[in-house]
Amino acid sequence: MGKLLRVNTKEKKFNFEEVPGVYAGLGGRALTSKMILDEVPATCHPLGKANKLIFAPGILAGSPAADSGRLSAGAKSPLTGGIKESNAGGLVSQKLAKLGITAIVLEDKPVDNDYSIIVVNNDGVQILPAGDLVGKGNYAVMESMWKKYGKNVGVLSIGQAGEQCLKGASINQADMNGRPGRAHGRGGLGAVMGAKKIKAIVVDDKGAPRVAIKDPDAFKAANKKWVDMLHTHPVTGQGLPALGTAVLVNVINEAGTFPTKNFRSGRFEHAQDISGEKMAELIQARGGITTEACHPGCVIKCSNVYHDKEGKYLTSGFEYETIWAFGGHTTIKELDDIAMLDRLCDDFGLDTIEMGVTIGIAMEGGLIPWGDGKAAIGLLSKVGDYAPEGKIIGNGALFTGDALGVDRVPVCKKQAFPAYDPRSCKGVGVTYATTPMGADHTAGYGVTANILGVGGTVDPHKKEGNVALSQGLQIATAAIDAAGLCLFVAFAVLDNEDGLPTIVEMLNAQHGLSLTPNDVLELGKSILNNEKEFNKKAGFTKVDDQLPEMFNEKFPPIIHNGIFPLKNCQKPLTFDNNL
C-alpha cells in the first residue's frame, strides 16, 4: 500500500497519509478522476482554492513492464470547465512509484504571488522558494533543476503560460535528456499549477528500493510475452519506431481526413513536405535522432530529436498532432517553422494542439496571413512576452475566436479538435462529441478501425458501428490510462487475443491479485462513469455531446464528401448515462 502526499500550497506545508480504502488499488486516471469527483466541488472555479491538481503514477508504474511509465495529471479543467486527465511520459511516474507515493495532491491556493518548488526524494519533502525561476521557460527551469539536483531527476514544470494562468497552458515533464519534450498538454492544467504558485516539482528516487513484485517469475514471463507482442506488431514494432507518430501524416492525408485550412478539406497539397518521411530525412541529414524513448522501459520508441539547418538542437518529441496543428490546419508547409512553433510551446508551456488550432483561428480572423510560418512564430512568441496578444491566443481557440469575431471554431466542450476530420473518420468524431474530456482523440482512438484496419474494420464514412467502436475504445483507453501504459500499446492489444490477458497477468503478478480481463474493462467503465458524473454536477448536459454546426457542411475530397451524422443540435450522439 502506497501513500498520498498532500501539499497545502497556501500554508506551504505537506503531509503523508495512508491511501484511504475508497482509493485502494487505483492508479493513474482511475485515481485522479475518482479523487476529483470525491474531493473537488464540480461548480468551483478551476483556478480557485477548491480545485486540486493530482499527479498519479499508473498501477504498473515502477515495474519492468514495457511502456508503463506514463503519469496521469488530473483536475477540473480551466479550458473545458469539466473533469480532465492528461498523461505524459517522462521520468516522474516510475520515480514516484519507487518512493512509494501513490499520488501528489496540490491543494488550496496562496494569497501572495510567491512561487515555490517542491522537492520530493527518499529523505522526504521540501517546499522551497522559486523566485529565481519566475518568468523563465521550461528549458531554463529544467536545466536549472538538473544542475542543482542532479541529472535524471524527474521534473514537472510550467512556463510563462502557466504563470499567466492561460487556458491553453501545459505542464511539461523533463524527458530523458532533461528537456521539456513531454507534456501534460490538454485542458489547461498548467494554469491550475500556476494558480497554486508551484513553478516546478522535482522527484528524485536515489536510494529508494525497487518496486516489489509479488510473483517475479510470473511477471517476467508475462512481460517477455508483452515485449514480443509490441515488437512484432507492424505499428508498434516498425511504423512508429521508424517515423514516429508523424508516420500518420501521409496515411491520414491519403484517407482524406487530414483537416486542412480550418477543416475545409481532408487533404493538404503540401502534406509530403511535412510528412514523417520528410522529417526522418531531415533528422538523419542534420544529425538528430529518429528513434527515442519517452520514458525508461519504452520499447516502441516513437519520440525523436529534431535539429535545425545548422545541425543544432531545435525540438524533441516532434509529433503528428503538432505537425498537423501547425501545418495542415494553418497551411504552413515549412517543417522548420512548425518545429520552432513546437519548441516555443514546450518552452512557454502550451498545448500544441490547442495552439495550432488557435493560430488557424487567428488566420481565419485576419490577424495573420494563412500559411505564414514566420508570422505564426511571431504571434506565438507574444505568450512568452506576457503581451496582450499572447494572453488572447494563450487562452485557446474558442477564446480567440470570440475575440476576433470568428464563428468557424472546431471545438467540443471548449477544447480544440485534434488531427482527424470527424466527417471522414466518424469513429473518432463520436469520441470528440461524447468523451468527458472535450475533443480528444486519445480518449477513444477510432482511427484504429476506421483508417488503419487495427482491431477490425469499421467504415469511417457511415454511422453503422462507429458509436459502438468509440464506446469500446473509450472504456479500454480509460483502463490503459489507469495502468500507466502508453496508449500506443493498444495497436498490439487490439490485434492480439492475448493482449488484454497479458496486461492482466502483469497486474496480477505485480500486486498478488486475481483479476480477470472483465475486471479491467469494468474498471474502465467505472472511470468513465466517474468522469461523466463530475461533468453532470458541473452542469454539462447532452447538448454538450455534439460537434459544432460547421461539421454539417460537406467537404472534399470527393471520396467521401460527407457530413458528420449530427443532423441538428437537438439529436446529439451520446451514450447511455451509465456504461
Residue range 136-163, pLDDT digits in tens = 999 999 999 999 999 999 999 999 999 9
Looking at residue 463, the DSSP 8-state letter turns out to be: S
Looking at residue 557, its pLDDT comes to: 78
Tell me the backbone φ, ψ of residue 162, rounded to 5 degrees.
Answer: -65, -40
How far is the CA of 258 from the CAs of 26, 268, 274, 445, 456, in angstroms? Answer: 37, 7, 12, 15, 22
How far is the CA of 67 from the CAs of 155, 168, 230, 249, 497, in angstroms? Answer: 19, 27, 10, 24, 19
Residue for grid cell 513531454: 182
In whole angstroms, what separates CA 557 from the centre of its chain? Answer: 30
Looking at residue 555, its pLDDT comes to: 82
Tell me: pLDDT of 573 over 70: no
Tell me: pLDDT of 492 over 90: yes
Whether domain 3-203 has CATH 3.60.9.10: the reply is yes
pLDDT band at residue 558 using 50, 70 and 90 as cut-offs: low
Q: Could you tell me where the DSSP H helices lie in 19-70?
A: 28-39
Can you tell me the distance from the alpha carbon of 472 to that of 383, in angstroms, rounded to the nearest whole number?
Answer: 39
Looking at residue 175, its pLDDT comes to: 95
Please report how the helices 138-149 and 335-348 are oriented relative to each other, as an axis angle in degrees rounded to 10.
60
| Residues paired with 172 in a beta bridge | 157, 183
Tell me: pLDDT of 568 over 50: no
Work out the mean pLDDT of the chain and round it to a whole number: 95
Tell me: pLDDT of 474 over 80: yes
Amino acid code (one letter) for 373: G
pLDDT band at residue 250 using 50, 70 and 90 as cut-offs: very high
- Over residues 274-289, the mean pLDDT reads 96
Looking at residue 554, its pLDDT comes to: 85
Looking at residue 578, its pLDDT comes to: 54
Tell me: pLDDT of 222 over 90: yes
Q: In terms of residues, how long is the chain?
A: 579
Looking at residue 184, its pLDDT comes to: 98
**478 grid coordinates:** 480509460
Looking at residue 575, its pLDDT comes to: 47
Tell me: pLDDT of 429 over 50: yes
Other beta carbons less than 10 A from residue 333's beta carbon: 18
Within the chain, how many helices (H) and strands (E) appear? 22, 17
Residue for grid cell 488557435: 358
The string of DSSP codes covering 238-259 is IIHHHHGGGGHHHHHHHTT-S-
Query: By percentage, how much of the chain surpasses pLDDT 70?
Result: 96
Please report how the helices 276-286 and 335-348 are oriented relative to each other, as an axis angle in degrees rounded to 10.
80
Looking at residue 556, its pLDDT comes to: 83
pLDDT band at residue 182 using 50, 70 and 90 as cut-offs: very high
| Residues paired with 56 in a beta bridge | 72
Other beta carbons less than 10 A from residue 512's beta carbon: 11
Looking at residue 54, its pLDDT comes to: 98
Closest to 153 (Cα-Cα) out of 143, 138, 164, 165: 143
Tell me: pLDDT of 572 over 70: no
- Over residues 463-484, the mean pLDDT reads 96
Query: By percentage, how much of the chain surpasses pLDDT 90?
Result: 95
Closest to 155 (Cα-Cα) out of 170, 168, 174: 174
Burial, 134: exposed, middle or buried (Cβ in 10 Å; 0-12, 13-18, 19+)?
middle
The CATH number of domain 240-419, selected from 3.40.109.10, 3.40.605.10, 1.10.569.10, 3.30.70.60: 1.10.569.10
pLDDT band at residue 571 using 50, 70 and 90 as cut-offs: very low
- Over residues 364-386, the mean pLDDT reads 98
Q: Where in the chain are the domains?
A: 3-203, 240-419
Can you tell me the distance from the alpha carbon of 110 to that of 194, in angstroms, rounded to the nearest whole number?
Answer: 10
- Over residues 167-176, the mean pLDDT reads 97
- Over residues 492-516, the mean pLDDT reads 96
Looking at residue 407, its pLDDT comes to: 96
pLDDT band at residue 553 using 50, 70 and 90 as cut-offs: confident
Closest to 91 (Cα-Cα) out of 174, 211, 159: 174
**514 grid coordinates:** 486475481
Burial, 453: exposed, middle or buried (Cβ in 10 Å; 0-12, 13-18, 19+)?
exposed
Tell me the backbone φ, ψ of residue 89, rounded to 5 degrees.
Answer: -80, -170
Looking at residue 564, its pLDDT comes to: 67
The string of DSSP codes covering 298-348 is -SS--EEEEE-TTS-EEEES--HHHHHHHTTTTT---HHHHHHHHHHHHHH
Looking at residue 211, the DSSP 8-state letter turns out to be: P
Tell me: pLDDT of 559 over 80: no
How far is the CA of 19 from the CAs of 15, 25, 234, in angstroms? Answer: 12, 9, 40
- Over residues 195-218, the mean pLDDT reads 97
